Amino acid sequence: MPQLSIVIVNYKNQELIKGCVHSIVENELDLDYEIIVVDNHSEDEAESELRKIFPSLKWIQMGYNSGFGRANNAGIKVALGEHILLLNSDVIVKEKNTVSHCLKYHRSLSNPSSTILGTRLVNEDGSYQETLRLKFPGLAREIRANAFYILLIERLFKKKFTGKEDQKTAHYISGEVAWINGAFLLMDRSAVLEKELFFDEDFFLYGEDTEWCWRASKSGMKFHHWSEQELIHYGSASSDGRKQKVQQVMASDWLYLRKTRGFWYTLITLNVIFKNQVLDGVLHFLAKLRGKELSEYAISQKTHRKWIFEILKKYSFQILFKRKHSDKRSFVINCYD
């Protein structure tokens, strides 16, 4: 039995996953591991290319674009390691034995079997990347996005109540957090199987890791962020199209709320989102009447607002009343083919 099973989901990005696997093989010299790649019907030469780098590779072909959560579940079910690492294909191990150090640290924790570990992920230039949360997202986030809140409350107190600075500080320290990004999740395999901690396959892309963390925490699992190790995370490299991404993220966020907070909470949140967008539109219109030229940010917000209205119209009923889009694909979005 290997110490670690590394599960990587691949979708139409051969060079990216080659870089990921190569960085593991090149830098993880002291670790007994297996690599499981779950492919979402990429239709390229990735499998043969990866076997040149890691001949004992386990390859699972889904046969269609199943999304992130469903593909990870397939990898988890065939994993043989004592521990499982869910790793994005756009993550690069840049220093020797980074994953090995994370595994040793995980084992040193007071209760490793009930702890899920994440570590610091950075952009290619080394800059901060938000990969954890101190609180689960909810209605408060949408209230803080309200124009009156921003203009009146934050100006009155001369402080932004977003919590982002606290999260940025947490990025550089080690300790318990509420949520860890799904790009790097290290856990005990027996705990995952015992608690049946598989991703909710109603999600296609985005949001599934947040819902999974919520459900895992409710089952008694803890999330620990360790800041002493660092990996490069390119981010969104195997998905494309800004409009599709924005709409997919938003719909998945709403599905997460429906799954974790219920019908009325989600309905109220969607109502706040709708009113926020209407208010922003009115303020931009009034600014235009006064002859003010809209900033680039305001113009981008106008486009963003149109996308939000589209997704509200198309999917809010589906999400609220749990009407599945497709049993084969996933619950909500059909943006990525």
Please state the rounded mean pLDDT for residues 6-32: 96
Bridge-based pairing state of the strands 83-88 and 4-10? parallel
Q: Domain check: are 193 and 244 in the same one?
A: no
Q: Are residues 104 and 223 in the same domain?
A: yes
Q: At residue 159, does pLDDT exceed 80?
A: no
Cβ count near 131 (within 10 Å): 23
Of 51, 74, 53, 49, give the one whose Cα is nearest residue 64. 74
Check residue 243 and give its pLDDT. Answer: 82
Among 3-7, 32-36, 170-174, 269-273, which stretch is predicted with the lowest mean pLDDT?
170-174
Mean pLDDT of 181-194: 96
- Rounded to a whole number of angstroms, the CA Rg of the chain reads 21
Contact 253, 147 (CB under 8 A): no
Q: Is residue 327 part of a domain?
A: yes
Nearest Cα neighbor of 6 from 38, 30, 43, 29 is: 38
- Total count of domains within the chain: 2
> Does residue 238 surpass a pLDDT of 90?
no
Residue 252 lies in a domain: yes
Q: Looking at residue 160, what is its pLDDT?
A: 55
pTM flag (> 0.75): yes
Distance CA 313, CA 240 (A): 23
| Average pLDDT, integer, range 216-226 | 96
Across all residues in the chain, what is the average pLDDT? 87
Q: Which residue in the block uniquely carries the two structure tokens 């593909």?
A: 71
Residues 97 and 224 in one domain: yes
Would you place residue 292 in the very low, low, confident or very high pLDDT band (cuts 50, 70, 90)? confident
Same domain for 192 and 55?
yes
Angstrom distance (rounded) from CA 260 to CA 211: 7
- Do 149 and 110 lie in one domain? The reply is no
Pick from 207, 233, 259: which residue ends a domain?
Answer: 233
Confidence class for position 151, pLDDT limits 50, 70, 90: low
Whether residues 144 and 258 fall in one domain:
yes
For the chain, the distance separating the N- and C-terminal CA atoms, rounded to the nearest angstrom, is 37
For residue 331, is pLDDT > 70? no
Same domain assignment for residues 147 and 256: yes
The reported pLDDT for the residue numbered 150 is 65
Nearest one of 313, 320, 319 to 331, comparing CA atoms:
319
pLDDT of residue 148: 65
Last residue of a domain, one of 233, 249, 282: 233
Structural domain contains residue 295: yes
**Whether residue 214 is found in the same domain as residue 288:** no
pLDDT of residue 336: 35
pLDDT band at residue 326, thresholds of 50, 70 and 90? very low
Residues 120 and 223 in one domain: yes
Q: What percent of the chain has pLDDT over 90?
A: 58
pLDDT tops 50 at residue 262: yes
Q: Based on the fold, state whether residues 143 and 229 are members of the same structural domain.
A: no
Confidence of residue 198 (pLDDT cuts 50, 70, 90): very high
**154 lies in which domain range?**
138-161+240-337
Q: Which of 192, 215, 233 is the last residue of a domain?
A: 233
**pLDDT reported for residue 245:** 82
Return the pLDDT at 306. Answer: 86
Q: Does residue 271 lie within any of the structural domains? A: yes
Is there a domain that residue 119 lies in? yes
Q: Which of 72-76, 102-106, 283-287 has the lowest mean pLDDT?
A: 283-287
Does one domain contain both 200 and 100?
A: yes
Phi and psi for 6 in degrees, rounded to 5? -100, 115
Range 292-313 average pLDDT: 79
User: Are residues 327 and 208 part of one domain?
Assistant: no
Tell whether 166 is covered by a domain.
no
Mean pLDDT of all residues in 114-123: 96
Listed in sequence order, the residues at least 6 apart from 186 whose beta carbon sits closer than 8 Å to its beta carbon are 83, 84, 85, 102, 103, 106, 116, 117, 118, 119
DSSP 65: -
Q: Confirm whether 154 is domain-assigned.
A: yes
Q: Is 281 helix (H, G, I), strand (E, B) or coil?
A: helix
